[in-house]
Amino acid sequence: MNCSQQNLIKNGLLIILSLCLFISCEKKEKEKIIKIIDDKAIADENQSSDWLAYGRTHNERRFSPIKDINVGNVANLKVDWFLDLPNDVSLVSTPLVVDGTMYFTGTMNIIRAVDAVTGKLLWQFDPKVREAIKGKRQVGWAHSRGISFSEGKIFTATWDGRLIGINAKTGKEIWTAVTFDPNRSLFISGAPKAFKGKVLIGNGGTEEGPARGFVTAYDAETGKEAWKFYIVPGNPADGFENEAMEMAAKTWNGEWWKNGGGGNAWHGFTYDEELDVLYIGTGNGSPWNPRIRSPKVDDNLFLCSIVALKPDSGEYLWHYQTTPGEAWDYNSTMDIVLADLKIDGEDIKAILHAPKNGFFYVINRKTGKLISAEPFTEVTWASHIDLKTGKPVLTEGARYDKGPVDIAPDSWGGHTWHAMAYSPQTGLAYIPTLHRTDKYSDEGVVYDGWQSKEFSGGIGVSLSPADKQLSDHPSSLEAIDPVTQKKVWSIPQKDFWNAGILTTGGNLVLQGRSDGKLLAYNAKTGQIVWTFNIGLGISAPPITYKINDKQYISLLVGFGGGYARGGIDAYSLGWSYRTQTRRLITFSLEGTAEMPALSPRHFPKPIVDQNFIINENLAQKGYNEYWKCFNCHGDGMYSGGLAPDLRASGISLSKEAFTAVVRDGIKNEMGMPSFPDMTDEQIENLMHFIRKRAKETSVDYEHLVSKAIEKHSEE
Ligand code: CA
């Protein structure tokens, strides 16, 4: 071998060596790019780049350790990018951020993927909910609270009851599962929960028909049903599905199955990766009146409970019932937050839970045993929770069995689905809290033969304004120490409804308000450290993420949720249907985006048609039809922005146009369901009622508008 040959070999070896190095480097690089996002990764509280689950991690704390944006510099927060969503209405959902891409669901369950750094739209997936609802009666709303991610897939559940697996890279559908018969009066507004190769979903509709609540888990790869868990027992004559149902049936009497029983789990699913347990929050009874449901009032398991299940099989493990024999719509479908607490020197794996009933519960999640429960808002239905039995001690006549009674919280609850948060840094839970009292009465209720039917369920109780509101503010943000149950700080708010919370390692709490402002608070003290006027009511919770060493805060803006359907207060906010463009907005400390201002508050003016002779008798009949419309068009026909204000709509002036919309469904594309079996007479009656409402509310219009503007003029 000569020198040059030797050199050649040497060089060859070198080339091979460097090639090897290059390949291994590239491999490492690729490993870095293709992150493995399994349940362990989704449960990791220290991960700081992404927002991988509804509550950021499996623990549902909505706490991010990122502290680049903090109490000291949050005043410099500016808009980095924004995306207008002109066809969306109600935006209440939590976006996810996975590996540089943001995914979110909008109105009609349309999923969008955007570059989380630039806001550029990458793909859009339309599950064609508009087509699915065509010609069908619908209940519930066209909005969704979120989506779920696991191993390269996005999961979404649609209003009409489908669960869909989508390829996160391409936006293409992988599978679809139909989770209930679409002709039933059920709906989905909740986020599915992906865990351990499965995806869980429940549904809502307790008030709409004879509903028997259930949750179903599907295989994440194939969409095949893996297991189903019923929340209340069915007719014993048909046999019980499992021992848990047999046990639950002992807490019911009469023929409860005829009205379904209820318990629908429409929100509040948490997977405990550490203990390998799945917790579901369950809903209220169907109907609300417990004496119709099950005449000798009893606990009625598993209504208003947290139920712990084996994630692989859906088998029952334990339950804790927050509201036995519930009578007030006190869902326990609110967030189930996992926290590690030190209580009396002992390390406790805890659940934090603030259901509608107004008590803040700390529960040992290994045993299901109650540790503490104290009111976080005004509570009149129970004096306290007995820590020995774990049960509430009811006040006299609270179940309206001794006549009409004022009850707090009302059926909106002390806290509803708006996300709460828990910061392990401050040790505080942050609860978007509601303060309302309402009068409950069973006067006029015919107990004998009471039967709810699909799409006309009813609740078996009448509600009217309370003699006195117990709080001088309708909502507040409460910071509570779950170890001591002490309120550490409290911020009263002027408007009802109360969006979800984000808390961060920068000692921040961020929350949007119904009045269109996004605020940052000092997480320890509650001091306001930043306010940004977005100019449109906020109902969604903010999220945060970090890419290329830069922290972002992002949220969807579009007043929504059940309250946004209307009523005089929601209408008075001025976030009217399609007036202010709904948006996705992302902030950073270096943001330079110029975001055009939104249209000012708008209050649709009732049209008084002098040529229309209102027949009082027909208008009264129309009032009885209106319950089919009020879920979108508003209590008292005051729209809160989810749908057009019928008093101000030209369509409701023409029988031809009105029939085309209501019966023939020509506005299906916009989300208006059709009512194919509505008769000419019923349509006529509705038109008389609309004109009547327009006329009687027009008298007070100017006064109402000036009051609304004045209320929000300062600051
Ligand atoms: Ca309910």
Q: Which residue matches tokens 């006040």?
A: 395
Which strand (E) or helix (H) includes residue 690?
Answer: helix 680-698
The reported pLDDT for the residue numbered 419 is: 98
Q: Which residue matches tokens 């707090």?
A: 408
State the amino acid at position 630 in one-letter form: F
Distance 528 CA to ligand 1 centre (A): 34
The reported pLDDT for the residue numbered 30 is: 43
Phi-psi category of 535—alpha, beta or left, where left has phi over 0 and alpha has psi -120 to 50?
A: left
Handedness of CA 534, 100, 338, 341 (dihedral sign): negative
pLDDT in tens, 645-682: 999 999 999 999 999 999 998 988 888 888 888 999 99
pLDDT class for 11, splitting at 50, 70, 90? Answer: low
Distance 571 CA to ligand 1 centre (A): 22
Q: Which of 292, 363, 264 is nearest to 322 (CA)?
A: 363
pLDDT class for 10, splitting at 50, 70, 90? Answer: low
State the amino acid at position 550 in one-letter form: K
Handedness of CA 303, 164, 240, 242 (dihedral sign): negative
The reported pLDDT for the residue numbered 35 is: 66
The reported pLDDT for the residue numbered 401 is: 97
Give the pTM: 0.94
What is the average per-residue pLDDT within 296-315?
A: 97
The reported pLDDT for the residue numbered 139 is: 78
pLDDT class for 278, splitting at 50, 70, 90? Answer: very high
pLDDT class for 715, splitting at 50, 70, 90? Answer: low
Which strand (E) or helix (H) includes residue 682?
Answer: helix 680-698
* Maximum alpha-carbon separation in the chain: 113
CA distance 648 to 44: 51
Q: Say yes or no to pLDDT of 8 above 50.
A: no
Tokens linked to 128: 């064609």
Distance 52 CA to ligand 1 centre (A): 29
Q: Say yes or no to pLDDT of 336 above 50.
A: yes
Q: How many CB atoms are closer than 10 A to CB 87?
A: 15
Distance 193 CA to ligand 1 centre (A): 21
pLDDT class for 542, splitting at 50, 70, 90? Answer: very high
The reported pLDDT for the residue numbered 22 is: 47
Catalytic-residue membership of 329: yes
What is the average per-residue pLDDT within 162-182?
A: 97
Distance 207 CA to ligand 1 centre (A): 6
What is the average per-residue pLDDT within 331-342?
A: 98
What is the average per-residue pLDDT within 524-544?
A: 97
Read out DSSP for 430-489? EEEEE---EEEE-TT---TT---BTTB---SSEEEE-SS-S-SSSEEEEEEETTTTEEEE
Distance 280 CA to ligand 1 centre (A): 16
SS3 244: helix
- For 190-225, what is the HEC assignment? CCCEEECCEEEECCECCCCCCCECEEEEEECCCCCE
Catalytic residue among 80, 299, 329, 442: 329
Distance 94 CA to ligand 1 centre (A): 22
The reported pLDDT for the residue numbered 457 is: 82
Distance 568 CA to ligand 1 centre (A): 21
Distance 329 CA to ligand 1 centre (A): 5
pLDDT in tens, 199-245: 999 999 999 999 999 999 999 999 999 999 999 999 999 999 999 99
Q: Say yes or no to pLDDT of 9 above 80.
A: no
Q: Are strands 421-423 and 96-98 parallel, antiparallel or unpaired?
A: unpaired
Contact 134, 586 (CB under 8 A): no
Average pLDDT, the chain: 93
Which carries the bigger pLDDT value, residue 6 or residue 77? 77
User: Taking ligand 1, which is a single-atom ion, which protein residues have CB atoms under 5 Å away?
Assistant: 206, 284, 329
Q: Say yes or no to pLDDT of 138 above 80.
A: no
Q: Say yes or no to pLDDT of 383 above 80.
A: yes
The reported pLDDT for the residue numbered 3 is: 45
pLDDT in tens, 69-90: 999 999 999 999 999 999 999 9
pLDDT class for 408, splitting at 50, 70, 90? Answer: very high
Least confident window among 7-21, 100-114, 436-450: 7-21
How long, in residues, is the chain? 715
CA distance 701 to 703: 5
Q: Which of 561, 413, 459 is nearest to 207 (CA)?
A: 459
Q: Say yes or no to pLDDT of 12 above 60.
A: no
CA distance 282 to 307: 8
Within 8 A by CB and 6+ apart from 203, the residues are: 161, 179, 180, 186, 187, 188, 190, 213, 214, 264, 265, 266
What is the average per-residue pLDDT within 314-321?
A: 98
Tokens linked to 116: 């989380």
Distance 284 CA to ligand 1 centre (A): 6
Q: Say yes or no to pLDDT of 685 above 60.
A: yes
